[in-house]
Structure 1
């Protein structure tokens, strides 16, 4: 009776340049312990500089490799059929000048956006009107409303994004994190469809 090995391809792995990718890197494996160790150490791909930063490994390539190395083993697969191999090249360190420049650009842009919004909705006139309704007095700068409103605006942004600098307030993901996750999922699906040479085939009639 043939031995059975079950593999589940990981969604994505991160490797260094010139890394030798094994099946143990690409997949979770269930099977007899001695067989599992041999499968884990089976080399499936060697990363080289021509790969740029993304390689997609298809489960068919894994099965084909296992059948050539272990012909008497039955391979069963569950889950994803592809793994994205992301090659992590050494990142350039950002200079302090570059960091401050980007920070100032974002800060000024956000400040202008908030001010333009308040100008569009006549927020100053609204505060003046509320102050007049409550106190019966007209005041050009109703600081009693403007100061708490400004503080509340900042606190609201902190609560909305669920972060205070690097510290997360609670375990719930922020709307920005959810959007980034959805973007990453779409990006991964695109990569799987376009970077995997086995997923598409052009047939030319002669």
Structure 2
């Protein structure tokens, strides 16, 4: 019988996990449906928000229940169990404050960058170089530059609100994916149910 652990699942508090919940199972046995319903682990208060079930724990339970069968584990060796708690509704005031803080912070960063490189002088020099005339406010350069800056950021992040321009992930999505992968690896290392059993 072949088993492939799911990489990550989301479950309710105190749920009893079965083979079907944490793994894909296939094989040529009459007991296949019974194996899918076999209890593997019961979530407790000690599991808090996240638990990790190791493939060896799964194989131990299966061999205890079905000693005459052979089990082959393929794919991931652990499954991360994300435990749902009571969902809290986001406060519109908190969202507005965070949005305002991010907008002000990004605007200040852009303004300080332009001040550091003296972008105004750059535009004036560019105007003089192209036209041969000096101008204090070369708007024909400054306005398209400002618009291009905003459009460039939208294209860079590949989003306008929930609208995507193409299927290519944005740099922010890639960074979030890498962060999640690192977080999952940390959880696998530190929250492993088998490790806790061995420590006990």
State the TM bucket, normalised to the shorter chain. Answer: over 0.9
Find the aligned partners of 2:29 and 2:127 in 1 and give their Cα distance.
76
User: 1:73 is paired with a residue of what secondary structure?
Assistant: coil
Is 2:150 the partner of 1:154? yes
Quote the residue 2:57 is aligned against: 61
TM-score (norm: length of structure 2): 0.93
Q: How big is each residue's C-alpha offset from its partner over 1:139-175, in whole Å with a ceiling of 9 and x where there is no partner? A: 1111101111111111111111111111111111111
User: 1:198 is paired with a residue of what secondary structure?
Assistant: helix
8 Å Cα contact 2:54/2:193 also seen in 1: no
User: 1:90 is paired with a residue of what secondary structure?
Assistant: coil
User: 2:103 is paired with a residue of what secondary structure?
Assistant: helix
Is 2:114 the partner of 1:118? yes
User: 1:18 is paired with a residue of what secondary structure?
Assistant: coil
Q: Which runs of 5+ in 2 are unaligned?
A: none
Is 2:68 the partner of 1:39? no
8 Å Cα contact 2:53/2:194 also seen in 1: no
Quote the residue 1:72 is aligned against: 68
Q: How big is each residue's C-alpha offset from its partner over 1:34-89, in whole Å with a ceiling of 9 and x where there is no partner? A: 43211111111122333110111011111111112222211111111111101121
Find the aligned partners of 2:88 and 2:163 in 1 and give their Cα distance.
25
The alignment covers a number of residue pairs equal to 198
Alpha-carbon RMSD: 1.6
Find the aligned partners of 1:35 and 1:149 in 2 and give their Cα distance.
68
Runs of 4+ in 1 over 3 A off after TM superposition: 197-202
User: 1:137 is paired with a residue of what secondary structure?
Assistant: coil
Q: How big is each residue's C-alpha offset from its partner over 1:101-139, in whole Å with a ceiling of 9 and x where there is no partner? A: 111100000000000011111111111111111122211
User: 1:172 is paired with a residue of what secondary structure?
Assistant: coil
* CA distance 1:124–1:34, change in 2 (3 Å): farther
Quote the residue 1:48 is aligned against: 44
